[in-house]
Chain A
């Protein structure tokens, strides 16, 4: 039962990163200078993200619901020890979720308000991605202290530091890289396509560089990621695969295979995330008192059973509708 739920958590997180992540990235890309293409980019992003915007957000809700019903202790520990990053994350989610829709549905599209929406959307996308990365790093640092006696070690130390910050920027890179790749295939302007190809290449280099920094800062932080990877063959294989895809990706990008570039970049991000799963599974949170394991903290069987039913029955409705949604809007 727990295995099925772990699959749903893992899959939801992956889909949130791949689909929702591209939405975050689109916001971040709108912060970059673009001269005369700014309006085109805005329309492009509205058309590409609009129909799937709310659906992409749902993967996060799904994770939250699975956590609080199936693994309540993980949920409460996260919301307590990481209270501050979670609040920061929420503010970002609220702002970008509303501003994106406001920009599109404001009946009077005057320059001032449109510029303000775009700026807020970009900034809140950057802000939220950063905090997502910080939270992800905090899970595996082992600084969450269940018996903390003072404010700093209870609520600040778990997420404060260079390593979580770099991890935050790593997520920013992943998201904006995904968005660039995704937008190559969405636009029919050759000029704009060229811009996104260039951005995708630059951001992919950034991704590798910041990824390397993640390893360096984690060692400085006392949780040597590289050593962990070497002792987990599957995680190492995923890392190797992601690195290998780097070369294949470049071939696709230079040959302008928009579809295969998308597949390769999604594959690269999937492998990065899978590597992370293999590294820590079935541990969910590493605390000062030891790891909290999904299997140990799971809710009683009756609850897990109901949750599994809901997810399986829900999937029967959700996946066909999602495929229909994609088919309507993504087939040209």
Chain B
């Protein structure tokens, strides 16, 4: 029996997954529909999770900073802030944890053909991520419920550990994703992955720039969002102005610093993409024809029929310079790739432009912020701009992930495995999509409502002793 099972095993391993369950669905849907539904489900689940994950891995640092200031200075404002941010972290962490669980299942529910190969190669960062996440889960229990049960500095350290382990798990997960862009650590022989080296796979060519870019982006987005909320409260609730200004400064310390570092990191990342994924870069820039002195387009809508950029403002030579540090360098265009291997150009280009525009805007706003911080007074228009910037960092993160993921299409593992060959044979993916869409919309709205109740409760509560 064991021998029989072993033979069966060999046979299964040798069969592409899509043929393994060679099924006729009861309702015959065109295969593209299932693929699109599965891709949309994955995009939606990732896009949802990334917001909560970003908060979970960066906000504990702001919370710990406030907590540190309280322990040092014993000013009650900092304690109030720690409590307020702690509750925000608790709510967002819980949703982040469950939406992350959904993703770990969805890898198999939607893309078994991918996991069959990818699991053994790229599972290593996931196993480390699991470890880091476990520590984070323990630390958050200790911090949330440990007030007055531990030495104050030990308690403070558990809060910091939530941030450190959360940040580490973010790095591991993005490293796993980077492998899909620049696969490494195996030999691809006749549709089989041989000579697997998980260490090489994790430290693939894209891991450093992708993790840097994402971690800085998370600090930036969350810093700006938190600062924006407190800027709103400064304007709206003069009685609590001092508290909210303190909060704003802590949040902007992270948000503004990250925003000024990000353009450099982003430039570094784009150069790596130019080197390792030229088709993605060409789609990002709407660059159809290979040429030297390649122009950079600001704005514009790429027309894939005529293969021209419409409405874009062209700056000659700048793309060559940005991609290869030389205005005369040749930049590969989409014409170097067969049409069926083009990523969706319009979505990738527009998302990229949105991300860059928002990043530039936030960097500019950060400079203004530091200028007025030195003068130690913030004009109302600056506070209003910060309020308006609450969602910008998250929009930029979503746009950036669209560039990474859509820009890699039609590949799920770049130049190795196509997304459609990784799709589950289970039919009716559209139902899966709607199910999670409704679940997440409900969950997202509830979370926003809870945060609103949180903020208004804290602001109200504090007015009573004063008034």
Q: List residues of A whose CB falls within 8 A of some B CB.
A: 50-55, 57-58, 60-62, 64-66, 68-70, 72-73, 75-76, 78-80, 83, 86-87, 90-91, 93-95, 97-98, 100-102, 104-108, 146-151, 154-155, 289-293, 296-297, 299-300, 302-303, 306-307, 310-311, 313-314, 317-318, 321-322, 324-325, 328-329
A296 / chain B contacts, CB cutoff of 8 Å: 2, 5-6, 9
B73-81, B128-136, B382-390, B394-402 - interface stretch: B128-136
Question: Closest approach, in angstroms, between the C-beta of B215 and any C-beta of chain A?
Answer: 21
B21, B133, B149, B456 pick with most chain A CB within 10 angstroms: B21
Judge whether B303 is part of the interface by a CB distance below 8 angstroms.
no
Judge whether B416 is part of the interface by a CB distance below 8 angstroms.
no
A94 touches B439 (CB 8 A): yes
Contact partner of A291 (CB less than 8 A), chosen from B1, B13, B199, B426, is B1
B105 touches A79 (CB 8 A): yes
Judge whether B8 is part of the interface by a CB distance below 8 angstroms.
yes
**Which residue of the partner chain B has the closest CB to A311?**
B127
Contact partner of A61 (CB less than 8 A), chosen from B87, B91, B104, is B104
B137 touches A54 (CB 8 A): yes
Complex formed: what's the CA distance from A244 to B158 in Å? Answer: 43
B101 touches A60 (CB 8 A): yes
Question: Closest approach, in angstroms, between the C-beta of A1 and any C-beta of chain B?
Answer: 13
Question: Closest approach, in angstroms, between the C-beta of B394 and any C-beta of chain A?
Answer: 19
B117-125, B234-242, B258-266, B404-412 - interface stretch: B117-125
A69 touches B105 (CB 8 A): no
B25 / chain A contacts, CB cutoff of 8 Å: 151
Judge whether B464 is part of the interface by a CB distance below 8 angstroms.
no
Judge whether B458 is part of the interface by a CB distance below 8 angstroms.
yes
A-B pairs, top 4 by smallest CB distance, nearest first, are A69-B123, A79-B108, A314-B131, A72-B119
B138, B425, B432 pick with most chain A CB within 10 angstroms: B138
Judge whether B126 is part of the interface by a CB distance below 8 angstroms.
yes
B127 / chain A contacts, CB cutoff of 8 Å: 65-66, 69, 306-307, 310-311, 314
Beyond the given pairs A57-B137, A68-B119, A149-B22, 16 more chain A to chain B contacts, judged by CB atoms under 8 angstroms and listed by A's residue number, are A50-B145, A51-B141, A51-B144, A54-B141, A58-B137, A70-B123, A75-B108, A80-B21, A94-B99, A101-B94, A108-B453, A148-B23, A299-B119, A310-B131, A321-B139, A328-B146
Known contacts A297-B9, A329-B149; is-contact A54 B93 (Cβ 8 Å): yes
Contact partner of B435 (CB less than 8 A), chosen from A66, A91, A155, is A91
Known contacts A73-B12, A148-B23; is-contact A318 B105 (Cβ 8 Å): no
A-B contact pairs, 14 of them (CB 8 A): A54-B137, A66-B127, A69-B119, A94-B98, A94-B99, A98-B95, A106-B450, A147-B20, A290-B8, A296-B2, A313-B131, A321-B135, A321-B139, A328-B142
Complex formed: what's the CA distance from A83 to B4 in Å? Answer: 26
Question: Closest approach, in angstroms, between the C-beta of B165 and any C-beta of chain A?
Answer: 9
**Which residue of the partner chain B has the closest CB to A62?**
B130
Complex formed: what's the CA distance from A70 to B121 in Å? Answer: 10
Question: Closest approach, in angstroms, between the C-beta of A331 and any C-beta of chain B?
Answer: 10
B150 / chain A contacts, CB cutoff of 8 Å: 328
**Which residue of the partner chain A has the closest CB to B429?**
A83
Which residues 268-307 in B have Cβ within 8 Å of A in the complex?
A: none
Known contacts A94-B98, A105-B87, A303-B123; is-contact A148 B1 (Cβ 8 Å): no
**Which residue of the partner chain A has the closest CB to B161?**
A321
B199 / chain A contacts, CB cutoff of 8 Å: 306
A318 touches B196 (CB 8 A): no
Question: Closest approach, in angstroms, between the C-beta of A71 and any C-beta of chain B?
Answer: 8
Contact partner of B458 (CB less than 8 A), chosen from A76, A107, A322, is A107
A94 touches B120 (CB 8 A): no
A310 touches B128 (CB 8 A): yes
B138 touches A80 (CB 8 A): no
Known contacts A101-B90, A108-B457, A322-B138; is-contact A314 B435 (Cβ 8 Å): no
Known contacts A293-B5, A322-B138; is-contact A328 B149 (Cβ 8 Å): yes
Complex formed: what's the CA distance from A75 to B424 in Å? Answer: 13
Residue interface bits B440-463, CB-to-A below 8 A is 1, else 0: 000100110010011011100000
A101 / chain B contacts, CB cutoff of 8 Å: 90-91, 93-95
A76 touches B134 (CB 8 A): no
Which residues 344-374 in B have Cβ within 8 Å of A in the complex?
A: none
A94 touches B116 (CB 8 A): no
Complex formed: what's the CA distance from A54 to B91 in Å? Answer: 12
A151 / chain B contacts, CB cutoff of 8 Å: 23-26, 427
B21 touches A65 (CB 8 A): no
Judge whether B212 is part of the interface by a CB distance below 8 angstroms.
no
Judge whether B43 is part of the interface by a CB distance below 8 angstroms.
no
Question: Closest approach, in angstroms, between the C-beta of A306 and any C-beta of chain B?
Answer: 4
**Which residue of the partner chain B has the closest CB to A107?**
B457
Question: Closest approach, in angstroms, between the C-beta of A127 and any C-beta of chain B?
Answer: 13
A87 touches B141 (CB 8 A): no
Contact partner of A83 (CB less than 8 A), chosen from B91, B98, B426, is B426
B115 touches A76 (CB 8 A): yes
Question: Closest approach, in angstroms, between the C-beta of A11 and any C-beta of chain B?
Answer: 14
Complex formed: what's the CA distance from A19 to B144 in Å? Answer: 19
B109 touches A300 (CB 8 A): no
Complex formed: what's the CA distance from A52 to B144 in Å? Answer: 11
Contact partner of A97 (CB less than 8 A), chosen from B12, B90, B97, is B97
B107 touches A302 (CB 8 A): no
**Which residue of the partner chain B has the closest CB to A47?**
B145
Judge whether B112 is part of the interface by a CB distance below 8 angstroms.
yes
A61 touches B120 (CB 8 A): no
Question: Closest approach, in angstroms, between the C-beta of B70 and any C-beta of chain A?
Answer: 20
Complex formed: what's the CA distance from A292 to B13 in Å? Answer: 12
**Which residue of the partner chain A has the closest CB to B101?**
A93
Known contacts A75-B119, A155-B426, A297-B9; is-contact A68 B141 (Cβ 8 Å): no
A154 / chain B contacts, CB cutoff of 8 Å: 21, 23, 425-426
B105 touches A65 (CB 8 A): no
A75 / chain B contacts, CB cutoff of 8 Å: 108, 112, 115, 119
Judge whether B198 is part of the interface by a CB distance below 8 angstroms.
yes
Complex formed: what's the CA distance from A79 to B107 in Å? Answer: 9
Judge whether B179 is part of the interface by a CB distance below 8 angstroms.
no
A68 touches B123 (CB 8 A): yes
Question: Closest approach, in angstroms, between the C-beta of B421 and any C-beta of chain A?
Answer: 13
Judge whether B61 is part of the interface by a CB distance below 8 angstroms.
no
Complex formed: what's the CA distance from A318 to B137 in Å? Answer: 10
A150 touches B23 (CB 8 A): yes
Known contacts A91-B435, A307-B124; is-contact A107 B130 (Cβ 8 Å): no
Judge whether B102 is part of the interface by a CB distance below 8 angstroms.
yes
B133 touches A102 (CB 8 A): no
B24 touches A150 (CB 8 A): yes
B104 / chain A contacts, CB cutoff of 8 Å: 61, 64-65, 68
A325 / chain B contacts, CB cutoff of 8 Å: 138, 141-142
B443 touches A98 (CB 8 A): yes
B97 / chain A contacts, CB cutoff of 8 Å: 54, 57, 97
Known contacts A69-B120, A154-B23, A289-B8; is-contact A55 B112 (Cβ 8 Å): no
Contact partner of A76 (CB less than 8 A), chosen from B17, B24, B138, is B17
